[in-house]
Amino acid sequence: MTWNLPNILTVLRLLAAPGLAIMFLYFVRPWADWFALVLFVTAAVTDWFDGYLARSWKQETKLGAMMDPIADKAMVVIALLVITGLSGMDPWILMPATVILFREVFVSGLREFLGDTAGTLKVTKLAKWKTTAQMVAIAVLFAKGVFEHHFGMLVFGLGSEMATNILAGREEDVIGLGWKYQGMIATWWVGVGLLWIAGILTLITGIDYLRKSVPYLKDTP
């Protein structure tokens, strides 16, 4: 195995995946949301960097080719589990998350069965857009958790009546309650919308992968 910078970044990204859940075990919210957001965004950025560096430095290795998709899937799967749990199993999040998780498990099993043949099934541009949509959606939904808890703490301190008056414009907003509320609403709709787009792209690419695999699944007479 070759240990170079791209491979080290990939392994660090893989190790960061369980850290998303651990943040909510050892830190209170909204700090846990902040830490998870920073950790996820950092890991997503390294996903681009390790591939770029491996190609530009001609340091592509078997270890990197194996670990890169595993790290990506681990980050997405654990992040979706955390977000789904924090949302209280909201169906707007649960449905696309279920599609994404099902596809990842199904395709991983299919690749394992196909063995070396799986390497001949090229990754499409749509699959790359799918991964990008997943990463951005998850980052935005983690940001929603940050807004939500900062807003919730202010409402708790002010009381519901005062908070309502501020949001209605009947009281001066000197603590930024309004923009925190707008940020919470905006990140919710943008995050959920992107997650549904990611779910649709995930479904399409999964069907495409299955279609390409069918000739290799037929029994020879």
Provide mean pLDDT across the span 75-82: 92
Pick the closest to residue 209 from 136, 54, 74, 105 (CA basis): 105
CATH of the domain spanning 5-217, picked from 2.60.40, 1.10.10, 1.20.120, 3.40.50: 1.20.120
Distance CA 41, CA 202 (A): 21
Q: What percentage of the chain reaches a pLDDT higher than 90? A: 33
pLDDT tens digits, 131-180: 889 999 999 999 998 999 888 888 888 888 888 888 888 888 888 889 99
Query: 198 near 100, Cβ under 8 Å?
Result: yes
For 56, phi then psi, to 5°, come to -70, -35
**Res 221: pLDDT:** 59
84 has pLDDT over 90: yes
Domain spans in the chain, listed from the N-terminal domain onward: 5-217
Task: Look up the pTM and report it.
Answer: 0.86
195 has pLDDT over 70: yes
Highest averaged pLDDT of the listed ranges 11-20, 167-176, 178-187: 178-187
66 has pLDDT over 80: no
Both tokens of 214, joined, read 């069918």
Pick the closest to residue 137 from 88, 183, 184, 97 (CA basis): 97
Residue in the structure block whose two tokens are 């591939």: 51
Both tokens of 53, joined, read 């560096």
